[in-house]
Amino acid sequence: MNKKMTKILIVEDEKKIAELLSDYLRQTGYETHILLRGDEVIPWVKKNEVEMILLDLMLPGMHGIEVCRGLRQFSQVPIIMVTAQTEEIDRLLGLELGADDYVSKPFSPREVVARVKAVLRRAAQPPVPENTLNAGILKLDEETHQIWVSGKEVDFTPVEFGLLKVLMSRPERVFTREELLNKVQGYDFIGYDRTIDTHVKNLRRKLAKHGVEECIVSVYGVGYRYHIPTA
């Protein structure tokens, strides 16, 4: 029986770049599909199974930021943004909307493949012997990739899940931003020091919606620690 290939959607209006990425990903063993317009993405994802999206920002039909926002309304599929826009505001806005990584043009196709592997690895989260973390009213299951707050399941992106898992594994232990980047991203994530700050902001916002406040504590000049919340 043939093993199902991981499908990656490439959304890029420059056809040569899209085909180059597709070639490298196919050589690595992935199945790919290319879309050249932003307004085609959401309808396509709703009708097709896909395990990863490489998403350009400057797209005809619909801007990549809007595409990402729309996707996050119904899907937690991992998203890597690929764009020539390198301004900090664009990077942080993309991550705040739920993107899992960000690659700037020009890029090495091999680097993109490495990023894809790392994000998919995080999303898969293979089970470990002790796969459930309980910390106050929060419960995290590594095997099923689920998080509950006071018994109610809450959706998180793969990066947010990984970040919360690391913090919950050692309550009150302070993790530096560099430690969190290495543990959560799974590879040498050069630059983007504020990436962790952005994901922490997202975590706090989602947890606050469910009545959990101040469980992720900032340690000025160092990083973050997890304070066990109570009901």
Higher pLDDT: 41 or 88? It is 41
- 109: tokens are 């196709």
The whole-model pTM stands at: 0.60
Higher pLDDT: 137 or 162? It is 162
The rounded radius of gyration (Å) of the Cα atoms in the chain is: 18
CATH dotted code for 132-226: 1.10.10.10
**How much is the mean pLDDT over the chain?**
82
Q: Which residue has the tokens 């469980």?
A: 215
- Residue 203 CA, distance from chain mean position: 12
Within 13 A of 39's CA, how many CA atoms are on the CB side? 3
Higher pLDDT: 128 or 212? It is 212
Mean pLDDT confidence for 97-101: 79
Question: Quick one: pLDDT band at residue 7, thresholds 50, 70, 90?
Answer: very high
pLDDT of the residue at 158: 84
Does domain 7-124 fall under CATH 3.30.70.270? My reply is no
Domain residue spans in the chain? 7-124, 132-226
Q: pLDDT by residue (tens digit) across 100-131?
A: 888 888 888 888 998 898 888 877 754 433 45
* CA–CA gap between residue 119 and residue 36 (Å, rounded): 23
Which helix (H) or strand (E) is 207 found in, with range? helix 195-209
Higher pLDDT: 196 or 64? It is 64
Residue 89 has pLDDT above 60, yes or no: no
129: cis peptide before it, omega within 30°?
no
Q: If DSSP codes are grouped into helix, strand and coil, which group holds residue 125?
A: coil
Q: pLDDT by residue (tens digit) across 32-51?
A: 999 999 999 999 999 999 99
